Amino acid sequence: MKLHQRVLALTFMHGSRRRLDARLRGVPGLAARFEATTIDSFAWRLTQRWRLLAGHMGHRIPGENDYAGTCALAAQLLQQNVVRAWVEMSFPIVVVDEAQDLSTERSAMIGAWAQSGTIFLAFDEFQCLDARLLPIAIETWLRDHCRPTPLAGCRRTNNDELIQAARAVRDGRAVALNGASFKVIATPGHVNFSATCLANAIAWRRGGNVAVLTPSRLGGFAENAVSRVGQGPIGRHQTGPFHIHWEGNDRQELDTLWARLGIADGCGIDEALRLLSGHRNLPVVSTLRDWLILRRSTSGIQIVVAADLLRQLDRALARRHHFGGRQDPQFVAMTIQQAKNREFDHVILFWPHRMRDDPMQKRRLLYNAITRAKRGCTVLVQSEDMLQAPPFVS
């Protein structure tokens, strides 16, 4: 590469972007010579830079929250030699991680890019949990363009028990149930039993962060145990309490934050700004306040329309989730789908009754949960008989 050029590292999920950034910082000679970002963020940058060309080609510019449309337009623009040359002038080498999560539109960007650029793709079809993406688009495209090189070994952990457990699940073999770093425990009966197992697993972890994962929150198996360990000490050893934060989805976070702000439809703009000022420590609220001040200065509005404010808050949250960062608390709970492309020192997995009866999907879910862990994984199964069925047996 020339002095002004850098490696461009792309991924779909922000969690894998952070991990990719950290890994590339450790590559000798690459410090300050790469940029790691999400593919959606780069697509937005590309379409904004070439918006006049897009209009000349007869395309409209998608809205800021239309990520699929933005990527589809970016793919069309990358079909143009001048656009690819502009990208390659700064980024002659592109690295794409977790490519199994790329939709058809995002995969089309890579296909257009590869006509003249140098691209390295990493993907694992088994880690795709979205049935709508199967078979994964990038693998279909690759068959006609190159022969993928299989990579062996695990980069997240060197713990042999975790590696062997993950391989057994992936291969469809029976899983060893009791080890020092990987355990599967049946927790039938009262919620206190599963909650005690959860509290003990946290207390005996010997440091590090903890993610409580579950394939489904239906039925309350995980939620009841998480709630109980937050209420006070539990079990024979009186372990706890541990306060575990549930990560919500975008809609839940929007509704919760909007309720906290307490802005009524039709209130005066000065009153709305006063309410927003009480939450200026939150970046999305600060962004919303700046937008409202700008609207007052440019349009002279004096009355707040709640729907307009709510729409702007939704956009600010969406931009933060797609382009921004996330600070994980020490103890966090979420679904396996939310944990994709992230890593934690310890994983405690709640495996409930209520799951779709699809052995392959169960294997994918269990594999993804185990491979989030770097040091230890405990699986709490809701009943004993579940240990005699997939994914715990061949």
pTM for the model stands at 0.78
Instruction: Determine which of 41-55, 185-199, 275-289 has the lowest per-residue pLDDT on average.
Output: 275-289
User: What band does 329 get if pLDDT is binned at 50, 70 and 90?
Assistant: confident
What is the predicted pLDDT for the residue at 71?
A: 96
What is the predicted pLDDT for the residue at 146?
A: 83
What is the predicted pLDDT for the residue at 275?
A: 92
Does the pLDDT value for residue 77 go beyond 60?
yes
User: What band does 4 get if pLDDT is binned at 50, 70 and 90?
Assistant: confident
Does the pLDDT value for residue 325 go beyond 60?
no
pLDDT, averaged across the chain: 89
What is the predicted pLDDT for the residue at 145?
A: 83
What is the predicted pLDDT for the residue at 327?
A: 54
User: What band does 164 get if pLDDT is binned at 50, 70 and 90?
Assistant: very high
User: What band does 144 get if pLDDT is binned at 50, 70 and 90?
Assistant: confident
More confident residue, 315 or 157: 157
More confident residue, 19 or 231: 231
Provide, rounded to the nearest whole percent, the portion of the chain with pLDDT above 90: 57
User: What band does 322 get if pLDDT is binned at 50, 70 and 90?
Assistant: low
User: What band does 249 get if pLDDT is binned at 50, 70 and 90?
Assistant: low
Does the pLDDT value for residue 75 go beyond 60?
yes
Shortest CA distance to 78 belongs to which of 39, 25, 130? 39
More confident residue, 54 or 320: 54
pLDDT tens digits for range 92-132: 999 999 999 999 999 999 999 999 889 999 999 999 998 88
Domain architecture of the chain: domains with CATH: 7-142 (3.40.50.300), 160-248+328-388 (3.40.50.300), 250-323 (no CATH)
What is the predicted pLDDT for the residue at 250?
A: 60
What is the predicted pLDDT for the residue at 23?
A: 85
Q: What is the mean pLDDT of residues 354-378?
A: 92
Does the pLDDT value for residue 324 go beyond 60?
no
Provide, rounded to the nearest whole percent, the portion of the chain with pLDDT above 70: 95
What is the predicted pLDDT for the residue at 368?
A: 94
Residue 225: CB atoms within 10 A of its CB come to 28
Does the pLDDT value for residue 141 go beyond 60?
yes
CA–CA dist 387, 229 (Å, integer):
25
User: What band does 162 get if pLDDT is binned at 50, 70 and 90?
Assistant: very high
pLDDT tens digits for range 285-305: 998 999 999 989 988 889 988
